[in-house]
Every structure is written in structure tokens, then in C-alpha cells.
Amino acid sequence: MDPVSSTTANATSRIGAGSSLLASNFETFLTLLTSQLKNQDPLSPVDSNQFTAQLTQMAGVEQQLLTNDLLKSLVSGQGSAGLGQAATYIGKAATAAWSATKMADGQATWSYELGANASSATLQVLDGTGKVVWSGDAPSKTTGMYDFTWDGKATSGNDGQNGQVYTLKITAKDAAGGALDSQVLTRGRITGVEMYNGEPYLTVGNAILPLSSVIALEEAKTPSADARPGLLSSLTSSLNPSNLFS
């Protein structure tokens, strides 16, 4: 079962269980009320105020059953609506405050951002158990956003494994030893979406991250003519008059 169906099914199941319980209580209430009316003392009938209160309670249970049916319909429609809305982000370039990604082809890539020039900036790669498997100086220590690729070679413990999730951590300090604002980011093109526990998740590169972690979106860049010199030069050559009659 896919995540969307699983989440919707779980919510619907809980509402369904509640409806079944209320329905059972409702039937029991009717049975007791009918027995009470059949076996009441003719010389001392049920007080009208008490009977009215019981009928009001029964109406309340009926209303709860109707509300549960409406909630079930809403939950069934929510999953597909959230997924459809998230799907509009596919193809866009995203920047997310997210530090976990999978290793693929022997490497894992993140970005990091420094809020000011740092006297020192240390990067650490952690495995799925939280153990530091690599640490070293950040390639750049000036204000700005930079990419960092880990080649999977560990400075302690085991080397990185393809398919395993790794997390990047950054610690930056100023000349006085004070902490500087810094954060780890995941950047890339959004290639897929899925729902998990009612929240949309995006596939960005080798990372799967919640939509709520995205801090910037822009149109994905397309290759320019300068980036395709082979195609351009081939086309120019074919249109050269000297080649038309060769």
C-alpha cells in the first residue's frame, strides 16, 4: 500500500471504529429505552422531563454518527488534494533547511550557509546511528552559500555505503570563539512527491524531505546555447553555404 493510501486508510479506520462504537451505543440506548417504556409502572410513569432528556441524548448520538460520516468523507478527499497541490512543485529548483540525504554513486552532497565570515567552520558527516564518520574544515568560511560533496571516505569508522542516509552538521565560530549563524541545506530539482502521515514530502536529488522544510523555490534552470556548443556548432556548420554544395 502506498503512503497516501496508508495514511487515508488509517484515518478512515479510526473514524470507522468510532462510528461503530457510537452505532452500538445507539442501538443499546434504543433497546433500554424501549424496555423502560414497556415495563414502566402505569401508576408511576416515567417523568416527562426525564424522558425528554433521554430523547435529547439520543438525538445527540445521531448527530455524532452523522458528523463521523462527514469526517470520513473529508479525510478521504484530503490525501489526494494535498498530493495534487504538492505535485505542482515538480520540476522546480528547491532550497530546503534539511540535512539528511542518501549516498549514491559513492558520494553525498549538501549545501551549507554562513551568516557572516567565520574564523573557523567545521563540517561533520553522521551516519544513521548518529555516529560521526567524517569531519573536516568547511571548504569556504566567508558569508554565503556553498556546496559540499563527501566522497564517502571516513575519517573514523566505516566508509560510506550507497543507499545509506547520512546527515551533515556544521559548527561555525567567529574570531572571539562565539557561535555564528549557520545552517545545512539541501538544494536541487524536485523530481517527485509523496504523502506521509498526512504531510507532503518532496524528492530533491537523493533526499526526501517535508514540504515544510523548503525555504525557497525557483524555476529550474535550462541549459543555454553556450552550454551546448556541440549542437550549436553542428547546426552552424550544416547551414554554411560552402557545405550546401559539397
pLDDT digits (tens, 9 = 90+) for 121-133: 999 999 999 999 9
CA 11 to chain centre: 18
* Dist CA 122 CA 90 (whole Å): 33
Is 186 in contact with 193 (CB distance < 8 Å)?
Answer: no
* Pair 210, 113 in one domain: yes
Does 228 map to a domain?
A: no
* Dist CA 45 CA 47 (whole Å): 6
**Residue 150 is placed in which grid cell?**
563527501
* Pair 50, 67 in one domain: yes
* Dist CA 160 CA 164 (whole Å): 8
The pTM of the whole model exceeds 0.75? no
Q: State whether the Cα torsion 55-57-62-63 is positive or negative.
A: positive
Residue from 143, 129, 134, 89 nearest 108 by CA: 134
Does 136 map to a domain?
A: yes
**Residue 244 is placed in which grid cell?**
550546401
**Residue 230 is placed in which grid cell?**
556541440
* Pair 137, 55 in one domain: no
Please tell me whether residue 45 adopts helix, strand or coil conformation. coil
pLDDT digits (tens, 9 = 90+) for 83-106: 778 889 999 999 999 999 999 999
Q: Looking at residue 196, what is its pLDDT? A: 86
Does 65 map to a domain?
A: yes
Q: Compute the average pLDDT of residues 137-164.
A: 95
Q: Is the pLDDT of residue 176 over 80?
A: yes
* Pair 100, 197 in one domain: yes
* Pair 83, 195 in one domain: no
Q: Looking at residue 153, what is its pLDDT? A: 96
Q: Compute the average pLDDT of residues 32-46.
A: 67
* Pair 121, 199 in one domain: yes
- Count of the separate structural domains present in the chain: 2
Please tell me whether residue 155 adopts helix, strand or coil conformation. coil
Between the two ends of the chain, the Cα-to-Cα distance in Å is: 63
Q: Is the pLDDT of residue 63 over 80?
A: no
**Cα Rg, the chain, nearest whole Å:** 31
If you search the block for the grid coordinates 512527491, which residue do you land on?
193
CATH number at residue 112: 2.60.40.4070
Q: Looking at residue 19, what is its pLDDT? A: 53
Instruction: Provide the domain limits for residue 8.
Output: 3-87
* Pair 99, 217 in one domain: yes
Q: What is the enclosing helix (H) or strand (E) of 179?
A: none
Q: Looking at residue 15, what is its pLDDT? A: 44
Task: Give the whole-number percent of the chain exceeding pLDDT 90.
Answer: 50
* Pair 43, 124 in one domain: no
Please tell me whether residue 149 adopts helix, strand or coil conformation. strand
